[in-house]
Amino acid sequence: MKADKLYLVGFMGAGKTSVARALGRRMGWRFEDIDHRIEAREGLRVAEIFARHGEPYFRSVERSVLEDLLPQRHIIVATGGGTFVDPENRAAMLADGAVAWLDVPLERVIERVPADGRRPLASDRTQMEQLYARRGAAYSQAHIRVDASRPVAEIVERILEWIGF
């Protein structure tokens, strides 16, 4: 699949930011992280935004940040775990670029994501497991599924091969 833009989607802890950064270095493209852009815009960490303003507010800022990125080309976008779940966001990303789902088993997510409050939707493990199950249906609509339990270098090679870079 030829593309001039790449979106990485998947659950928290899938490695979207690490893979996007590595892809950017290999491709010479800029990399953007939606959660980092939200934090810069709001002057608060994601957990603080959730605590002070709630998830609906966070999702509205997330959509605005995504809209800002839509016209940009030769960029790799690491999305937040919930970005692609929203039908409008999903449609926009699928139409705008190549979308790769970094799929990681729940057991690996639990190893990677501490329940320390830094990720607001991970502090309750039962709810996190339910969220993981619900989000899978949305992620499966990405253009490609990539096994994200592999080392970052292997994931990068798989994506580069897929987009013919």
The tokens for 79 are 């999305």
CATH number at residue 28: 3.40.50.300
**Listed range (21-35, 105-119, 140-154) with the worst mean pLDDT:** 105-119
Q: Domain limits at 20?
A: 5-163
Count of domains observed in the chain: 1
Strand segments (E) across 30-74: 30-33
pTM for the whole structure: 0.92
| pLDDT confidence of residue 28 | 97
Give the C-alpha separation, 111 to 116, whole Å: 13
Segment 82-109 shows an average pLDDT of 95
| pLDDT confidence of residue 121 | 55
| pLDDT confidence of residue 6 | 98
Residue 129 pLDDT class (50, 70, 90 cuts)? confident
Residue 148 pLDDT class (50, 70, 90 cuts)? very high
Quick: pLDDT tens for 102-127: 999 988 887 776 666 565 555 667 78
Give the C-alpha separation, 22 to 156, whole Å: 7
How distant is the alpha carbon of residue 42 from its chain centre?
A: 19
